[in-house]
Structure 1
Amino acid sequence: PEKKLNRILYHIFIIFGYEDDIFNKDVFYRQSQVGTCPYCNMADIHYTPATALSQTEKGVLDHFYPKEIYPMLGLSFYNLIPSCPSCNDVQHKSNKDVTSNKGDASLTSMRIINPYEYQDRNFFFDYNLKSHWENAGNSDVDILTAGDKEVGYNALLNLNGRYNTIQNRETVISIIRKLNRYPDTYFDYLNMLPIPDSLIKKEFDDWGFHLRRDEIYKYPFNKFKLDILEKARANM
């Protein structure tokens, strides 16, 4: 960032590009149609246009590769991630480099994965239950994280700390208890293609979240709940 060439590129791509009125951030944000923050899945970031009584409601645009370090990617659509203000604040990702080695920006050294390329093996939730599910309280649950990029997601986004709440621990117990009331045949349709819309709606009505991976980013906390459900099924 301190090099003269970098500052020249910053003026070209950021000051006279990304930050110029010619780039309409609202249009970009609206057309992206992102429903929840792709970093944390904790916040609803739907675009809501302004009315006579309210201002525009939306999240923020994060540069996956920070614009201070990679100014040439300042206007790359692939590098612009609609996200929640919490993930993009100074306590979390902000302008921190996403590569573990600043001298090597290859994908093999990535600390977290661009949401366009994200796979569930990169980061997922797990739990540890210290007593039987019938009598367990929230103090009997540990919310855990795993994945090949777990260290990066917790270092940059603090997902383990942000998810490890009393409410989420109670959610884990609730999912396990409900799971024990359903036979395995109930979940057979998860492998069916295509899934009827009526079944997807019933699934959401029954559980309060989607049970299919291609649906999970429509609502906050959906990934966390599905990860826990799948872990609980594996533990049964």
Structure 2
Amino acid sequence: MIFIDLRDKVDSNALSKYYSILTDKMDDEKKKQIEKWCQDYLRKDNGEPYSFEEVVKADYSELQKLKKQIDDNHLDQYNCFLYNHNKVYKAENKKRKRKKKNENEKKRNSCYIKDTLYNSLSSKNKEAKLLLLKKVGISVCPYCNRNYIFSNENVITCQLDHFFSKEKYPILAVSFFNLIPCCSTCNRLKGTNDFDFYPYDQKNKAIDIMRFSYKPINSDFLRNKNSIIVETTPTEDLYSDQLETLKISKLYELHNDIVFDIIRKSEVFSDVYINSLRTSFPQIFSSSEEVKELLFGVPLSRDDIHKRPLSKLTQDIVFEINEARNDESH
């Protein structure tokens, strides 16, 4: 639901550093296996093979091409390189006779990239995860715009969603642009579902996939929040199921109190009053827009929607109220 502009944030140096940290402690034999698989099965448009480094650094358009190759060629059937070899585990089982059979079976079927390399982002390769989070640089979940996801060296409050599921596409499990910082609720709800909107997409910006509005159901809506219904409308039908997966409509129905406050503030604080506040406090406000942002508690610029929870809701409702006023004045 939020577009995240990474054009000036993530460059080739950042991607190289991420890959270097990620693979620095990888076993040499495992690296060879992964590289060989990429060369055997993944091809660029010019026919040349992908390297694992190129897979890790792949942007959205490249990720889509890799996904299509995997789907079209049923490459999930040829992922033996991803999985730990039975011979290794037979040797381990001799040393660990006390281990239960089902535990050994679980290990035997574990996937190196998604179960070891990806999990290392929370342990020995935590530096790579922190680099990714710093470069993406968002404070609010891009899927719901409801929850803060602050992260730094001391605390990480977000989870990483795999836009293309790591279960279906384990080779993409640590690809930089396949990892979307999000809240735990959205990560759980999205699961392995495929979405048509991508938070980093420059062309089809996620912010444009839906719009919030409100509907008064009783005449006392200026005094009673329960007389207001929050409505969610996708801009295209193809987004309906995905918004339903994230339960956006049901979750935002709970925020009728926010809409209630926005409507009341819009009634009390007229444009004339807002302008008077700006002129009365020039040391605080440089524009009427800054007064409105203080009033509504969120940035009112589309470019800053990722900075505060419920910014999308607030912006849409404020816009709707202003549009209605403009129509009345004409």
Instruction: Report the TM range for the smaller structure's normalisation.
Output: 0.7 to 0.9
AA partner of residue 184 (structure 2): P
Structure 1 gap ranges (5+): 51-55, 99-109, 188-196
Length, aligned pairs only: 206
Cross-structure match for 2:321 = 232
Q: CA deviation at 1:44?
A: 0.9
Task: Report what 1:213 is aligned to.
Answer: 302
Q: Deviations over 1:21-72 (max 9, x none)?
A: 447323322332111100011111111332xxxxx23211111111111223
1:124 counterpart = 2:221 = no
Instruction: Name the % identity.
Output: 26
- In structure 2, the CA distance between the partners of 1:137 and 1:7, relative to structure 1 (3 Å rule), is farther
Give CA deviations for 1:125-170 in whole Å, capped at 9, x if unaligned.
11111234664512211111112254133322101111111xx212
Aligned equivalent of 2:230: 143
Structure with greater Cα Rg: 2
Contact 1:134 1:177 in 2 (8 A): no
**What does residue range 40-189 of structure 1 map to in structure 2 within 5 Å?**
40-50=144-154, 56-89=155-188, 92-98=189-195, 110=196, 113-117=197-201, 118-132=205-219, 135-147=222-234, 148=236, 149-165=238-254, 168-180=255-267, 181-183=269-271
Structure-2-length-normalised TM-score = 0.55
- Separation (CA, whole Å) in 2 of partners of 1:159 and 1:78: 24
| Secondary structure class of the residue paired with 1:211 | coil
SS in 2 for 1:125: strand
Measured in 2, the distance between the counterparts of 1:144 and 1:161 equals: 9
Assess, with a 3 A threshold, how the Cα gap between structure 1 residues 8 and 140 changes in structure 2: closer, same or farther.
Answer: farther
Alpha-carbon deviations, 1:78-106, whole Å to 9, x = none?
111010111111xx1122233xxxxxxxx
Task: Quote the Cα distance in structure 2 between the aligned partners of 1:6 and 1:153.
Answer: 29
Q: Deviations over 1:145-200 (max 9, x none)?
A: 112254133322101111111xx21221221222234239979xxxxxxxxx8436
Greater helix fraction, Structure 1 or Structure 2: 2
CA contact (8 A) 1:133 1:173 kept: no
C-alpha contact 1:126 1:144 (8 A) present in aligned 2: yes
Aligned AA for 1:125?
Answer: F
Could you tell me which residue of structure 2 aligns to residue 4 of structure 1?
77
Secondary structure class of the residue paired with 1:139: helix
- Tell me the distance in 2 between the aligned counterparts of 1:78 and 1:41: 19
Rounded to whole Å, the distance in 2 between the matches of 1:184 and 1:129 is: 26
Decide whether aligned partners of structure 1 residues 223 and 184 sit closer, same or farther in structure 2, where only a CA change above 3 A counts. Answer: farther
Could you state the TM-score of these two structures normalised by the residue count of structure 1?
0.74
Task: Check the 8 A contact 2:298/2:308 in 1, yes or no.
Answer: yes
Q: Answer yes or no: is the 8 Å Cα contact 1:211–1:226 preserved in 2.
A: yes
Q: Which runs of 5+ in 2 are unaligned?
A: 1-73, 84-110, 276-284, 326-330
CA distance in 2, matches of 1:7, 1:162: 41
